[in-house]
Amino acid sequence: TFFLTQSVFAVMEKNRSGHIFFITSIAAEKAFKSSTIYSMSKFGQKGLLEALRLYAAESNIRITNVMPGAVLTPMWGEVPEKMQNLMMMPDDIADPVVNAYLLPSRSAVEELVIRPIGGDINE
């Protein structure tokens, strides 16, 4: 995340515009016992983007932290059907991200928290 952000930010800073989306997780704000390393990495990403945001505004660069809850993706491996019904689909995340991107450049969605309607899934 760090090296990609560093490269992209340099180009956007030169152009004095851009929009960076960090897809973190609700684990960036709430640690999960069964996913300590994952939670740690997401907390780190959130720290990076918040620090970067302090510099980004000077170059008209928007930074959005997208924090989805459980999304049915291959990352989960085999998911029982009962649990699948509690999870969101990738489009549930993609649509709000596109809407945030399409806002006028004078506006920024700083955080997008998107959870399944039933709340967090505890493993």
For the annotated catalytic residues, the residue numbers are 38
Asked if residues 75 and 23 have their Cβ atoms less than 8 Å apart, the reply is no
Residue 36 C-alpha from the chain's centroid: 18
Dist. CA 122–CA 35, nearest whole Å: 10
**Beta-bridge partners for 66:** 23, 112
